[in-house]
Amino acid sequence: MRAAVCRTFDAPLEIADVVLRPPGPGEVEVDIAACAVCHSDIHFMDGAWGGHLPAVY
């Protein structure tokens, strides 16, 4: 899967291939064709609320 990854706060996102673990009990896997970035994501990317990196918002 490809994702926009935040590796450094207040820096451009990096489009990268990411590997996810298979779904566990009670979980499902879905295909996502597209998504959007909301204002909360932008605040996280700017480092406004801290958090652990790398991250996919």
Q: What is the pLDDT of residues 29-53, one digit of tens each?
A: 999 888 888 899 999 999 998 889 9
**What pLDDT does 36 receive?**
87
Determine the Cα angle at 21 with ends 19 and 4, to 5°.
35
- Position 1 pLDDT exceeds 90: no
**What pLDDT does 21 receive?**
94
Q: Whole-angstrom Cα distance, residue 51 to residue 53?
A: 7
Phi-psi region of 51 (alpha: psi -120 to 50; beta: other; left: phi over 0): left
Q: Whole-angstrom Cα distance, residue 25 to residue 51?
A: 27
What is the model's pTM? Answer: 0.77
pLDDT digits (tens, 9 = 90+) for 9-33: 999 999 999 999 999 999 999 998 8
Residues 6+ apart with CB under 8 A from 23: 29
Confidence of residue 57 (pLDDT cuts 50, 70, 90): confident
